[in-house]
Structure 1
Amino acid sequence: MTGSNLIRYGLNAAKLFRIKQRQTQFIAVRSCGWIRDYKPGPYPKTPEEREAAARKYNLIPEDYDCYEEGSGYGDYPKLPVVSQDAMDPYEEYDNYYRRRNFGQTLHRDYDILTSEKTNPNLVFRFSPLVMFSVFIAPFFIFSFIAWIDYYFDLHSCNPMKPKQFPGDGRIHYTFEPVD
């Protein structure tokens, strides 16, 4: 390909990409009806309004519980805090990667409860104090060993014999033949 053909190809690809991008944006906005459907309404005050809100969020009226009035969440349901890691991995989900089914009402902190972010249901095997002490113990152990080496003058780091300097009255080297 010549340079002008590459430029022409690049410009055409850019135009196609822009068209595809606009079309994708339009499809995304048009197809995500759950945003409009799950937009919180006013706080329910009567039992009929509570039942209507429960139906709106695909819940049975016994399971429906909303946030207190004035919290800013309106009639959005108060769902239990369960992260994706805590959900059953062997269940048949419509979207297995996100572990959710079609039409399932999302928790208000859904973006925080994803599998790559946090798991508030996680129970650690050891307490935080034990984990911190196991983390810090090697530093104290090696510092104690270094202090013993320094205090008792053990010279364990670089042991060597004393240097042989001329002039101390001894003959260190001679050119005389051995008898």
Structure 2
Amino acid sequence: MAVAGRFSQKLFRLSLLKNVRVLQKAYASSFGDSTKRGMPGAYPKTEEERIAAAKKYNIRVEDYEPYPDDGLGWGDYPKMEKIHQDSRDPHADWDFPEERRNYGELLHIEEDFLKRYTPNSTKKYKYSHTQQAGMFFAVLGTLGFLFWLGSFYKFFPPVVPKQYPENNRIIPEFKMF
């Protein structure tokens, strides 16, 4: 009886291990291949290489423009517009709403700087930074001027001797302890 129990346990472990290995292979192949495909290749020098790179990144040939070959090593990766994740539509039906992007969407080469937990450097403000600084110092200067002006007009609450209903009446003080 004990031998049959040990045999069934070993069989169960082997089948479980086999299932885990199958899942690991499926998981690795689903991501491993797309990662290799998404890696930038050499900078396209001919029109055929350019067409192949556009097809590789699933972009129309007319829209494909690689980064300039200035030695930084971006290769054939397409040049994209910088759009911070906070600037994207929050009400759209995203596949990954926490990152505001869809499955298979091409990422910007500097995607780490465009995440939601980083400052939004691409946002267009209503007022420029010099206008904002001017408004800040205008409010600060106005308040400083008002405090300075108020220093000439001292305000003290009126103080008069305490009045009692009868003359020279002493009111006892109550002490708790």
Please list, as runs of the form range in 1=range in 2, the aligned pairs for 1:24-103 lying within 5 A after superposition: 30=28, 32-33=31-32, 34-69=34-69, 70-103=71-104
Contact 1:53 1:75 in 2 (8 A): yes
State the partner residue of 1:17: none
Deviations 1:130-169 (A, max 9, x none): 322332333322322232233x3x222x45669xxxxxxx
TM-score (norm 1): 0.62
**What's the secondary structure of 2:48's corresponding residue?**
helix
Q: Using the alignment, how far apart are the partners of 1:32 and 1:160 within structure 2?
A: 81
**RMSD (Å) for aligned C-alpha atoms:** 3.0
**What's the secondary structure of 2:85's corresponding residue?**
coil
Q: Alpha-carbon deviation of 1:117? A: 2.0
Change (3 A) 1:129 1:111: same
Amino-acid identity (%): 36
Contact 1:82 1:120 in 2 (8 A): no
Q: Alpha-carbon deviation of 1:120? A: 4.2
> How many residues are matched?
137
TM-score (norm 2): 0.63
State the partner residue of 1:108: 109
Contact 1:58 1:104 in 2 (8 A): no
Q: Using the alignment, how far apart are the partners of 2:157 and 2:117 within structure 1?
A: 52
Structure 2 segments unaligned to the other structure (5+ residues) = 1-20, 161-167, 169-177
Code of the aligned partner of 2:56: K
Considering fraction of residues, name the structure with more helix: 2
Deviations 1:87-146 (A, max 9, x none): 334443221221222222110111111233243442222232332233233332232223
